[in-house]
Structure 1
């Protein structure tokens, strides 16, 4: 089954054909319309560069050189600065400074220009805006129909923003520093479940760090501290690459575990995988570990960290390096 749809027509030539002016006009129109469609569909319309509107006196504004594409896909360039007079009968009005393309309907009548059709950039300062015109700025006039520098506003200015088709920007298209980055946070742990055997005391949690208690119920704390914390993953993260933990004091040993948890949708069961189990010895510390099995399922994986200290310790930073680049996946996610 095939369905052929007519989308356009273009001139076709053959040997011995008599060409008249309509044939050449049709040829020009075909290529011009193709360019207009290209501009609108691949780039959009609005100000590309320049065309700034400035105050030039009580009765004038000035528009700087620049380039724009209007709402019909016409390319418009101002090669030099241009001034526009403010209408004298527009007291307290809000006028729109705009730019649009225009051209002669018929070629010029004079012998020297009869083979040309003039094209224009039309600058306007009016209450309304012509169809397909590019708005450059709004201009508020005072009771004397004068304009001031504070009366020129760019809130309604239309700047060209290139549209992107869905799926055209993948992780590979991003700059490297956008493909991989660090999620960093203070350690704000939840206490270990009290009914768990050998559950450590909770950390004392402050706004920037977590510390073991020196005393519990006026007695020296000999059991350190422990806690767990969920790590929120940004949308699109496909892998955890590294874990970093740092703190100013550690009087004993610190055990750090990183978990990838969540849900196995296919088998309908809970997931709890320890992907890192490391130990930090005493003293100030700043440790970074590679995570060898850090693949993240985009819908069902979660991430958390557990830290246990067997003496007094302070934790200032927990950070994970993550990526949204699927090329860095070592094993494709299978959960779900």
Structure 2
């Protein structure tokens, strides 16, 4: 049996009668701080954990509610009291980022917040920044505030579309489903009429059988929505499988929904392909795999030219 050993860290260890110096206490604190931060990032990620809502107060200010967050360094930040933020210094039509950051002061002697009597301590602060750009890379974006043409905060000015939320980090996983398309409403490009609809069964969908010769078989076409699990923001791979394909299958996996920045319909092709022969099990890698966890939808458009049976549609999602 062979073993390879890789050193991870040094855990402080003590013995009776040991002379402890300040370096020993620094090492003790660093060990536990780093372990806690790794735990936070690897198991929960960064972002808002609870609270920290940004709420309009009046035409020129908002409030940030108490709450808790984890920054991109794994540092925990908690805001205990509501804070009012004045936005009157910003220009008309600007997007103002409201950001929460962790900050430490210089070591000071005095009475600590959590201790009785005099102590030597480093104060930790929850700091709220407002800027037109994300000024601190480790900070947590709480919301964006869109000022109107008069520099005012409107009733619908608070935008959470780019806010990151921490939680339990989930692994990649496959969303599997039967192929259950609905008929197309429009004539596909390059064709003269709307193709027939698929005949949907309990476990597979088939194109309708032509009553005449094979040359008269028009195949079928359809589209279906694909559910996206809550908080999923990545689509890695697409699979399709079926037992029959007497002609050619063409498909497009589409990301739709809404673009909150442009305030318009969203539409992009994630992957498209052509399949010949049967039985078939095809898998496609999606390069542009990021989707908006709040506004994106997922759908499949598919056209087959002759007799076809499709049993499986699946997408691999991530967080």
Q: TM-score range by the shorter chain?
A: 0.5 to 0.7
Match of 2:138 among 132, 135, 145: 132
The answer to whether residue 281 in structure 2 is matched with residue 297 in structure 1 is yes
Alignment of 1:55-74 (within 5 A): 55-74=56-75
Q: State the match for 1:54 in structure 2.
A: 55
Determine the structure 2 residue equivalent to 1:174: none
CA gap 1:57/1:153 in 2 versus in 1, 3 angstroms: closer
**SS of equivalent to 2:23:** helix
Measured on the aligned residues, the alpha-carbon RMSD in Å equals 4.8
> Quick check: 1:98–1:136 contact (8 Å CA) kept in 2?
yes
Deviation at 1:19, TM superposition (A): 2.2
Q: TM-score, normalised by structure 1?
A: 0.51
Q: Which of 229, 232, 250 is the equivalent residue of 2:219?
A: 229
Separation in structure 1 between the aligned mates of residue 283 and residue 147 of structure 2, nearest angstrom:
55
* TM superposition shift of 1:159: 0.8
1:86-108 CA-partner distances (Å, limit 9, x unpaired): 4x554546543211112333254
How many residues align structurally?
230
Distance 1:42 1:179, change over 3 A: same
What is the match of residue 34 of structure 1? 35
Match of 2:177 among 180, 184, 188: 180
Unaligned runs of 5+ in 2: 185-191, 199-209, 227-237, 249-275, 285-303
Cα distance, 1:30 vs. partner?
A: 1.2
How far residue 65 of structure 1 moved from its aligned partner, in angstroms, is 3.0
Q: Is the 8 A contact 1:63 1:83 kept in 2?
A: yes
Which of structures 1 and 2 has the bigger CA Rg?
1
Distance 1:164 1:85 in 2: 35
Taking a change above 3 Å as real, the CA distance of residues 113 and 95 of structure 1, as seen in their structure-2 partners, is: farther
What does residue range 113-128 of structure 1 map to in structure 2 within 5 Å?
113-114=118-119, 117-126=122-131
Give the Cα–Cα distance (whole angstroms) in 2 for the partners of residues 82 and 236 of structure 1: 49
- Cα distance, 1:15–1:61 mapped onto 2, change above 3 Å: same
1:141-152 aligned within 5 A: 147-149=152-154, 152=157
Query: 1:155-176 deviations in whole A, cap 9, x for unaligned?
Result: 77441367979xx4344xxxxx
Distance 1:90 1:185 in 2: 49
Distance 1:142 1:322 in 2: 48
Counterparts in 2 of 1:58 and 1:43: CA distance versus 1, 3 Å: same
Work out whether residues 96 and 138 of structure 1, in 8 Å CA contact, stay in contact via their aligned partners in 2.
yes
Deviations 1:65-104 (A, max 9, x none): 3332112211122344322234x55454654321111233
- For residues 143 and 11 of structure 2, the distance between their equivalents in structure 1, rounded to whole angstroms, comes to 39
Structure 1, residues 165-203: CA drift from partner, whole Å, max 9, x if none?
9xx4344xxxxxx4232333549xxxxxxxxxxxxxxxx
1:10 aligns to what?
Answer: 11
